Structure 1
Amino acid sequence: MSKRLFDLLCAALGLLVLAPLLLLAALWIRLDSPGPALFRQTRVGRFGVPFTIHKFRTMRVAPGAEITVGADPRITRAGRWLRATKLDELPQLWDVLRGAMSLVGPRPEVPRYVALYPEALREVVLSVRPGITDPASLAFSHEAELLAAASDPEREYCEVILPAKLRLSADYAARASLAADLRLILRTLGRVLRG
């Protein structure tokens, strides 16, 4: 089975089975704070093509930094739970279904961080569809806490965390296979279930 067919089947089945949960989450978000249920943002996809990513909104609608640091005061009550359970990522199944993303692949970044990618790594990382999960996501699952401990979170992200994530993403892209994807999906589900 090809990776794309696997993505299509899993995303379609996931959206169908999880539809009641998705509707309840959307309703809770709308009741919890003013604003839309979904958060949309431009990210950089395969071959550097921009696309709109969809997530459940976990923050108040207000201007702010593109990175989340620790107990960010913008995070709503519903948002804290959605982030802790990773359920805020579920709308990305739609992005997988429409072909902008894959279940497994390097997490897509905003254009201003992609501009910092070294050319050699940029080409490799952007050669595959971005994903909902990948080795870097698992390695940096507590990224917000790491940034909260830094004296300059933006600098810490750009100079320490981003380069480390890029190396992991490039390694994944160079060795991507359906078997590796299945292992990463199982590891991600295990991490989510363990909290």
Structure 2
Amino acid sequence: MRAYDPVKRAVDVVVGGVALVLSLPLQVVVAVLVRLKLGSPVLFRQPRPGKDERVFELVKFRTMLETDSARGLVTDEQRMTPFGSFLRSTSLDELPTLWNVVRGDMSLVGPRPLLVRYLDRYTAEQRRRHDVRPGVTGLAQVSGRNALTWDAKFAKDVEYVDRRSLRLDASIIARTVAQVLRRDGISADGDVTMPEFMRSTND
């Protein structure tokens, strides 16, 4: 893994940087549409735990309306709009996250960065997902995305940590492109995205 890690980082910087620059015109269009349809702020910013559980600020395009109890906008389902669903299903909301990749907060491939409050809910085995940089896409995402249970997702995350290689990364990226085109696994049954992770059912 020692030779793999610096090469992977170099690939992240080069590929992530090129993708960031090439996607800027599209990002401008998406930003304008987000502003018109969802209002300000255009970007969604949230602290997420990264490698070794160090917290960084994740940046994405907004996909939900602001919480407003007076208008009945409280749950994710109520706040999600057709436009927001389109951004998520096409992964266009993830384009600003390329900046996190270039900065070194994230990698193109790795376990998805989740909420900080989940940190004390993981089993010791599940915490191993933080042994590597989180990714824009990962093995769990191409194995079912949000259609997987939390335990199944975390098992795939740990499997990636153990099996990671440039070949596996290339395979995951290729499978991600195919999955985005099919728009598979966008949400769990009965949820807009995923229900909150409370604690592993394997405890």
Superposition TM-score tier, normalisation by shorter sequence: 0.7 to 0.9
Q: Is the 8 A contact 1:105 1:169 kept in 2?
A: yes
d(CA) in 2 for partners of 1:183, 1:119: 28
TM-score (norm 2): 0.80
Superposed counterparts of 1:1-40, under 5 Å: 2-40=7-45
Partner in structure 2 of residue 56 of structure 1: 61
| Among 167, 172, 181, the residue aligned to 2:160 | 172
The sequence identity of aligned pairs, in percent, is 40
Structure 1 residue ranges (4+ consecutive) displaced by more than 6 angstroms after TM superposition: none
Letter of the 2:179 partner, please give it: R
SS of structure 1 residue aligned to 2:40: coil
d(CA) in 2 for partners of 1:57, 1:49: 24
TM-score (norm 1): 0.83
Partner in structure 1 of residue 79 of structure 2: 74
SS of structure 2 residue aligned to 1:103: strand
Q: Residues 37-61 of structure 1, C-alpha deviation per residue, up to 9 Å, x if partnerless?
A: 1101111100010111111100011
d(CA) in 1 for partners of 2:154, 2:58: 19
Q: Is the 8 A contact 1:32 1:77 kept in 2?
A: no
| Among 126, 130, 135, the residue aligned to 1:126 | 130
Q: Would you say how many aligned residue pairs link Structure 1 and Structure 2?
A: 173
Deviation at 1:162, TM superposition (A): 1.9
Partner in structure 1 of residue 89 of structure 2: 84
Which runs of 5 or more structure 2 residues have no equivalent in the other structure? 1-5, 69-73, 184-203
Partner in structure 2 of residue 117 of structure 1: 122
Q: Does 1:140 align with 2:128?
A: no
Q: Is the 8 A contact 2:60 2:95 kept in 1?
A: yes
d(CA) in 1 for partners of 2:132, 2:57: 17
